[in-house]
């Protein structure tokens, strides 16, 4: 039986002055999406391992750490030591992707790969059996609040076909521009982990938005199974 869709609020859209409060608002989430940007791979600069440690002190929700950094081999251990439950690294930034993925898994953390919007999913064929999760960016990485790129839907379907050929079932995560208006089509295409930032944190009641997105996603999952 297909597992329920997971909702992963991105704390990039949280209020950093009241982070513990905002984490409390999303205690009903399945994952916390934790965007690490180094100011080189992206133009933005965000969170280091000390912030992850702080998150782990006040929340029991597993942390999904998205490494938007130019040299993930140099930094993944910082975030593993800080308590990451999942780490994804960019195909575009990884010089030794197979080695990096296996290192993360050997340290007891789920490992995955991220593709930017212009990167074809066919590049995952050589390593698809070595990942726990694939994250497809549906916006160009760096900043929240961008519009969903529609071509992502075809990439999700292509990824599903690759997984079927290899008889593997990694989590398929999508990040960028997802809201109540389009979550259904993203799930029907094959995604089962949904990242949402402003769609959750801008409304007055983030917990209600998490539940609303979860309900819409699982309705779409039922349609996909039918």
Extract the tokens encoding 107.
């340290």
Residue 103 half-sphere exposure, CB side, CA atoms within 13 Å?
17
Q: Is 19 left (phi over 0), alpha (psi -120 to 50) or beta?
A: alpha
Extract the tokens encoding 210.
């998490």
Question: Which candidate, 21, 39, 23, places its Cα nearest to that of 31?
Answer: 23
Residues identified as active-site = 35, 175
Contact (CB, 8 A) for 20 and 27: no
Burial 177-215 (b: 16+ CB within 10 A, else e): bbbeebbbbbbbbbbbbbbbbbbbbeeeebbebbebbbe
């Amino acid at each position: 039986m297909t597992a329920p869709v997971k909702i992963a609020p991105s704390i990039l859209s949280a209020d950093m002055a009241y982070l513990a409060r905002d984490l409390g608002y999303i205690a009903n989430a399945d994952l916390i999406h934790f965007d690490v940007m180094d100011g080189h791979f992206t133009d933005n600069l965000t969170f280091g391992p000390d912030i992850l440690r702080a998150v782990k002190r006040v929340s029991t929700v597993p942390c999904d750490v998205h490494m938007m950094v130019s040299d993930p081999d140099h930094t993944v251990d910082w975030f593993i030591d800080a308590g990451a439950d999942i780490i994804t690294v960019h195909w575009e930034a990884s010089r030794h992707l197979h080695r990096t993925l296996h290192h993360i898994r050997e340290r007891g953390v789920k490992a995955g790969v991220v593709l930017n919007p212009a990167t074809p999913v066919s590049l995952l064929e050589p390593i698809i059996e070595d990942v726990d999760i694939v994250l497809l960016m549906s916006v160009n990485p760096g900043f929240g609040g961008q519009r969903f790129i529609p071509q992502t839907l075809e990439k999700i379907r292509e990824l599903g076909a690759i997984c079927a050929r290899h008889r593997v079932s990694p989590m398929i995560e999508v990040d960028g521009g997802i809201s109540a208006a389009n979550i259904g089509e993203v799930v029907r295409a094959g995604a089962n982990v949904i990242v949402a930032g402003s769609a959750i944190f801008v409304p007055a009641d983030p917990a209600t938005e998490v539940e609303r997105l979860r309900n819409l996603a699982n309705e779409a999952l039922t349609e996909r199974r039918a």
